[in-house]
Structure 1
Amino acid sequence: MIWIISFDISDNKKRRRAVKVLEGYGHRTQFSVFECLVRRQQLRQIQTKLKKLIEPSDKVLYYPVCGKDALCRYADGNGEVYWPEVLHIVDG
């Protein structure tokens, strides 16, 4: 499943570490937004790693992108949509 993961981390060092974690699982679409094509277990790994980095005032948000919605993504302006090579939508 594709997950949109965004974060707001105030400490520069911790923010860089969060980016390193997320780059290992997905594609950076904006400074603090990543698209990650991961299994549930991998998502839990991401959550565990990021929870260790953040302070109570920081936040990390996780949004699932399911089924046909994954194919409806588009970008305006200078943006571009990332299409993982392994993305397969099965119409049941």
Structure 2
Amino acid sequence: MIWLISFDISDDKKRRRAVRLLEGYGHRSQYSVFECLLHRKQLRQIQTKLGKIIDADDKVLYYPICGKDALCRYADGAGEVHWPAALHVID
């Protein structure tokens, strides 16, 4: 399943650690937003690792994008829709 993971982390060092972690799992679509094709176990790993990085006032949000909704993504302006290699489109 594709997960949209966004964060608001105030500390620069912790934010860089979160970015490095998420870059290992998916595509950075905006500065604080990643699209990740994950199994449930991988999602739990990310949640555990980010939980050790962030402070109590920081935010990390996880949004599932599943099925046909994943195929309805589009971008405007300089945006670009990234299609994970493991995502198969079946008509």
Question: What TM-score results when the alignment is normalised by the length of structure 2?
Answer: 0.96
CA root-mean-square deviation: 1.1
What's the offset of the Cα at 1:88?
2.1
Whether the 8 Å contact between 1:3 and 1:63 is mirrored in structure 2 is yes
Aligned residues: 91
Match of 1:62 in 2: 62
Match of 2:7 in 1: 7
Q: Write out per-residue CA displacement over residues 7-40 of structure 1, whole angstroms, 9 at most, x where no aligned residue.
A: 0000000000000000000000000000000100
Match of 2:78 in 1: 78
CA distance in 2 between counterparts of 1:14 and 1:78 reads 27
What's the offset of the Cα at 1:85?
1.3
Q: Which runs of 5+ in 2 are unaligned?
A: none
Q: Write out per-residue CA displacement over residues 24-67 of structure 1, whole angstroms, 9 at most, x where no aligned residue.
A: 00000000000000100000000000000111110000000010
Match of 2:44 in 1: 44
Match of 2:35 in 1: 35
Whether the 8 Å contact between 1:67 and 1:89 is mirrored in structure 2 is no
Q: Which amino acid aligns with 1:87?
A: L
Identical columns (%):
77
- Segments of 4+ moved more than 6 angstroms: none
Q: Which runs of 5+ in 1 are unaligned?
A: none
Question: What TM-score results when the alignment is normalised by the length of structure 1?
Answer: 0.95
